[in-house]
């Protein structure tokens, strides 16, 4: 494999998406799981419409963070050691592999966000405001979670704990994204500036992307 | 003075300074006008929080240095510092809660500084858990180093949380552009002695823990290779024709 960086990333991305199309993990498992979680919350906290409208956006983002990240982690940690060796022998740039896997995970996360979002709007009667900013927030959160999940998946890949360790690693690290996303919506609702929250999310995305690209090789070596 | 002799002095220095802290906070520092004797918890809470920052910063530096040099010494430094950092973060949280109950009326409040500190605690708990998931020293060091770098994102978030958000937790009291906010010189002395003592305790624990990790690595290496032939499978003992 002697193609360029982006072509390699595109090939890895295509492989992950093809695997998802064949197995349907996100479509048939993660999305229904997220929807069920949204259905369970009112049973626990009460079915008062005003209360659900109030907590709905926050619950939506918590579910996106906790369940959505499984999408990225699943893709990153599904590679077996022989597959990794084969990629290495083919000359696949580990950084291109990271970018490719993150790209595929971003797309799947966006689908997850949209479908679960529609369910949340229906169940909690959430009002949709500031559509351009909302789209930007959804996209930034998807990229950030995909990068974080892919990086964490690579870290835990082929360890004895496997994916059991992932929630402990990802949940605390995704807090800046959760804060950025929830506070952006709150800012839009109250008519406040949300630039600082968007900036926080963008900075987190950039930092994780840089760390992921720079550490892809040492992680693949082991 | 050799490094080994010098290292032997750290625990003694830690004990002496810890006693000095106990004396200063109990006998020298006055009670606060508002908080009364509760303020004395701060002479332990603030140094514990400072050590958490210091320890995780050292983990970050050790992780970056390991990734650049691949020398296991840096991995041992990062691991030892993370262990100590988790302990002192837990201590800072518990001391803060003990102080908060009579002062704020609750053990816990959803304040940005408190919440982010708890999150930082869990990030490094994850770091320690990750280190236990593989016996391969290279894989362990590589993976832990990457997490040590990513986890450091939390440090500025926790530190600047009192500046970025309007929090119940008070803003920095000592390192401020317009000088320390603590007016009573005895209170300031007690706090500085506490910080110094905790820092020396940290160094003392680091020295010992790094030694221990080094010994554990050597033991693991022996255990891994104990049942393997010394020269590998390619070499067999010559048949000298003697009785079998």
Q: What is the pLDDT of residues B68-95, one digit of tens each?
A: 999 999 999 999 999 999 999 999 999 9
Chain A residues whose CB is inside 8 A of the B126 CB are 165, 168-169, 172
Tell me which H or E stretch contains B121.
helix B112-131
| Residue entry with tokens 């220095």 | B13
Least confident of A154-163, B53-62, B173-182: B173-182
Q: Rounded distance, CA A83 to CA A101, Å?
A: 14
Between CA A213 and CA A123 the distance in angstroms is 39
Q: Please tell me which of the candidates B122, B132, B139 has its beta carbon nearest to residue A172.
A: B122
Radius of gyration, CA atoms only, chain A:
18
Instruction: Provide the pLDDT for residue A110.
Output: 94
Please answer yes or no on whether B130 and A160 come within 8 Å at the CB atom: no
Query: Is the Cβ of B126 closer than 8 Å to some Cβ of chain A?
Result: yes
Q: Do A160 and B133 touch (CB under 8 A)?
A: yes
Report the interhelical angle of A166-173 vs A49-77 (nearest 10°). Answer: 120
Residue B195 tokens, joined: 């910080």
Higher pLDDT, B139 or B26: B139
> Which of A171, A204, A222 is closest, CB to CB, to B143?
A222
Least CB–CB distance from B129: residue in A165, A175, A211: A165
Read off the pLDDT of residues A172-197 as tens digits, 9 standing for 90 and up: 888 888 888 988 888 888 888 888 88
ipTM of the shown complex: 0.76
Is the CB of B157 less than 8 angstroms away from the CB of A159?
no
Q: Is B46 on the interface with A (CB under 8 A)?
A: no
| CA-based nearest distance A177→chain B, Å | 12
pLDDT at residue B181 in the model: 66
pLDDT tens by residue, A122-140? 999 888 888 899 999 999 9
Coil vs helix vs strand at B32: strand
- pLDDT given at position B144: 93
* pLDDT band (50, 70, 90) for residue B62: very high
User: In this structure, what are the phi and psi dihedrals at residue A23, rounded to the nearest 5 degrees?
Assistant: -95, -30
Collapsing DSSP to helix, strand or coil, B36 comes out as strand
Query: Which residues in chain A are contacts of B153 at CB distance < 8 A?
Result: 173, 176, 204, 207
Asked if B22 is an interface residue toward chain A (Cβ–Cβ < 8 A), one would say no
Both tokens of residue A199? 């900036």
B86: tokens are: 């988790």
**What is the token pair recorded at A72?**
């990225």
Nearest to B143 among A155, A172, A176 (CB): A155
Please write the tens of the pLDDT for every residue from A56-108.
Answer: 999 999 999 888 777 777 665 566 667 777 777 778 888 999 999 999 999 99
If one compares A18 and B169, the residue with the highest pLDDT of the two is: A18
């Amino acid at each position: 494999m002697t193609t360029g960086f982006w072509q390699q990333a595109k090939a890895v991305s295509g492989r992950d998406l093809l695997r998802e199309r064949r197995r349907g993990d996100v479509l048939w498992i993660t999305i229904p799981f997220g929807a069920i979680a949204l259905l369970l919350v009112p049973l626990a906290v009460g079915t008062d419409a005003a209360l659900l409208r109030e907590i709905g956006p926050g619950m939506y983002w918590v579910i996106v963070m906790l369940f959505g990240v499984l999408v990225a982690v699943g893709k990153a940690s599904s590679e077996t050691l022989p597959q990794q060796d084969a990629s290495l022998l083919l000359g696949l740039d580990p950084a291109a592999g990271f970018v490719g896997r993150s790209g595929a995970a971003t797309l799947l996360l966006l689908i997850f966000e949209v479908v679960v979002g529609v369910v949340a709007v229906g169940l909690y009667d959430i009002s949709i405001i500031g559509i351009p900013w909302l789209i930007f927030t959804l996209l930034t959160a998807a990229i950030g979670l995909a990068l974080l999940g892919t990086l964490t998946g690579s870290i835990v890949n082929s360890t004895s704990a496997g994916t059991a360790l992932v929630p402990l690693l990802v949940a605390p690290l995704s807090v800046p994204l959760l804060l950025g996303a929830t506070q952006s919506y709150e800012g839009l609702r109250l008519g406040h500036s949300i630039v600082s929250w968007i900036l926080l999310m963008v900075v987190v995305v950039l930092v994780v992307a840089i760390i992921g690209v720079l550490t892809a090789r040492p992680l693949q070596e082991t | 003075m050799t490094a080994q002799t010098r290292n032997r002095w750290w625990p003694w220095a830690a004990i002496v300074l810890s006693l000095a802290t106990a004396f200063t906070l109990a006998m020298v520092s006055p009670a606060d006008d508002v908080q009364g004797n509760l303020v004395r918890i701060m002479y332990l809470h603030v140094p514990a929080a400072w050590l958490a920052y210091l320890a995780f910063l050292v983990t970050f530096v050790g992780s970056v240095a390991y990734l650049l040099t691949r020398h296991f010494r840096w991995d041992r430094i990062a691991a030892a510092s993370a262990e100590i950092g988790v302990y002192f973060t837990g201590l800072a949280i518990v001391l803060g809660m003990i102080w908060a109950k009579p002062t704020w009326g609750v053990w816990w409040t959803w304040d940005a500084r408190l919440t982010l500190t708890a999150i930082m605690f869990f990030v490094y708990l994850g770091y320690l858990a990750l280190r236990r998931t593989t016996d391969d020293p290279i894989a362990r060091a590589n993976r832990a180093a990457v997490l040590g770098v990513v986890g450091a994102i939390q440090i500025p978030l926790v530190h600047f949380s009192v500046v970025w958000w309007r929090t119940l937790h008070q803003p920095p009291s000592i390192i401020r552009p317009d000088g320390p906010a603590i007016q009573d010189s005895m209170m300031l002395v007690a706090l500085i002695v506490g910080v110094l003592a905790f820092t020396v305790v940290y160094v003392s624990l680091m020295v010992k823990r790094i030694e221990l990790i080094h010994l554990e690595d050597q033991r693991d290496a022996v255990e891994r290779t104990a049942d393997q032939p010394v020269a590998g499978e390619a070499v067999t003992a010559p048949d000298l024709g003697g009785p079998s």
